[in-house]
Copies of this chain bind each other. A is one copy, B any other.
Amino acid sequence: MSRIVALDTTDIRFPTSLSLDGSDAMNPDPDYSAAYVIVRTDAEDGVEGHAFVFTIGRGNDVQVAAIDALAGHLVGRELEPLLDDMGSTFRELIGDSQLRWLGPEKGVMHMAIGAAINALWDIKAKRAGLPLWQLLARMTPDEIVDLVDFRYLTNAITRDDALEILRAAEPGRAERERQLLVSGYPGYTTSPGWLGYSDEKLERLAREAMADGFTQIKLKVGADLQDDIRRFRKAREVCGPDFPIAIDANQRWEVSEAIEWVNALAEFNPAWIEEPTSPDDILGHAEIARGVAPIRVATGEHAQNRMIFKQLLQANAISVMQIDAVRVAGVNENIANLLLAAKFGVPVCPHAGGVGLCEAVQHLSMFDFVAVTGTREGRLIEYVDHLHEHFVVPTDIQRGSYMPPTAAGTGMEMKAGSIEAYTWKGQHVLA
């Protein structure tokens, strides 16, 4: 038996605003940051649990303070009972009646709980000697549904519904693991499309993306329609008429504006329109979906919890669901999200990029393929090519696909040197 002895947090910020990487219509100058936590134990194995919440700069200190506030729940606790019943651990943390008032189940406090949960999963996977995706994909259907809190979901999916989905995918798990290890999970790249880039850079990066084997790219839109038309036309010239090109407005529009703008870009055949308006506006997304059909609507990177995803699906508001590894309360809540998507037959194409989001979220898509939906058809994980060098197990992209990590853990562990070099000291580190 061992105990948790510390939740050590660090405010880590990368100076990405200096190069306009990650610039879009709502986020002109992000500093990609991580509110980072290491869960330390007194176990002889010396295994640490690493996790983080991704932010884009200011406020990363607030996010760190929220993770610190969970120490009272976890420090001094026996580790094994927490790891052996991660469903109860999850319910305990999201159910704290006092902390719950700060959300409930949304924003800074909810993401902090996600970091704590993910750090525990990191320990659990490292102890099992398995990457997270494989650890999850080898659990029984009953063990998997025990991880999920069906509270507030039962008018869309019950425990029995979820069991049925998981049992249907049991045959073929081993074969799909093998397929994954051979050919990976397809990715698409947003690298060409940031608003801060020149047309020349966009064209060059689009050409490189195709040469690298990616089967889709994405352009940021929404600041200026004429600019968007010009940039989309240039991308089409580079990529040809049939190559999938998604567009992403990062919440820029009103509902009617979204419908008009997207229809004005329809001639370029967008693969989807992402985040057309407020991420809280379920009915607005549904109205947009009707107004731009057959162009598909995608959202989710800012969907605060499983109740929002439930409603987006119930309202036929999205045709592509974009989970994020660190926006919700960790692995457990994202399993609920994957099961909801499976129930409604909507493909999950995760949001990634930022700091370590690619490293983290790939595990969830791979688990989904092996043990939930059993398919990669129409599914892609976002890929942005920066900051991977700071991770102990960086993504391995081959011919545009994510190759499955084989190292034990969740993939969220940063290199000690990077943590030290980019610990925020009140101003940017200039490399």
Chain A contacts with B in 92-133, Cβ cutoff 8 A: 96-112
Quote the shortest CB–CB distance from A26 to chain B (angstroms): 6
**What separation, in Å, do the CA atoms of A88 and B334 have in the docked complex?**
37
Stretch at the interface among A44-52, A250-258, A402-410: A250-258
Given contacts A66-B62, A280-B308, contact A101 B255 (CB under 8 A): no
Contact B56 A101 (CB under 8 A): yes
Q: Are B69 and A311 in contact (CB under 8 A)?
A: no
Q: Are the C-beta atoms of B287 and A155 separated by less than 8 Å?
A: yes
A111 (CB) vs chain B CBs: closest residue? B102
- Cβ-defined contact, B69 with A62, below 8 A: yes
Query: Which of B57, B106, B154, B278 is within 8 Å of A307, CB to CB?
Result: B278
- Which residues in B have their C-beta under 8 angstroms from that of A58? 69, 72, 96, 98-99
CB distance from A386 to the nearest CB of B (A): 17
Interface residues of A, count at CB 8 A: 61
Asked if A102 and B59 make an inter-chain contact with CB atoms under 8 angstroms apart, the answer reads yes
- How far apart are A290's CB and chain B's nearest CB, in angstroms? 13
Q: Are A314 and B107 interface neighbours, CB within 8 A?
A: no
Q: How far is the CB of A284 from chain B (nearest CB, A)?
A: 6
Q: Within the assembled complex, what's the spacing in Å between the Cα atoms of A102 and B284?
A: 22
Q: Kindly state whether residue A373 has any CB partner on chain B within 8 Å.
A: no
- CB pair B65–A155 under 8 Å, yes or no, is no
Residues of B within 8 A of A152 (CB): 254, 277-278, 280-281, 284
Q: Are B308 and A154 in contact, CB atoms less than 8 angstroms apart? A: no
Task: Check if B102 sits within 8 Å of A55, measured CB to CB.
Answer: yes
In the assembled complex, which residues on chain B have CB atoms less than 8 Å from the CB atom of A56? 97-98, 101
The 3 closest A-B pairs by CB, nearest first: A107-B107, A108-B108, A65-B65
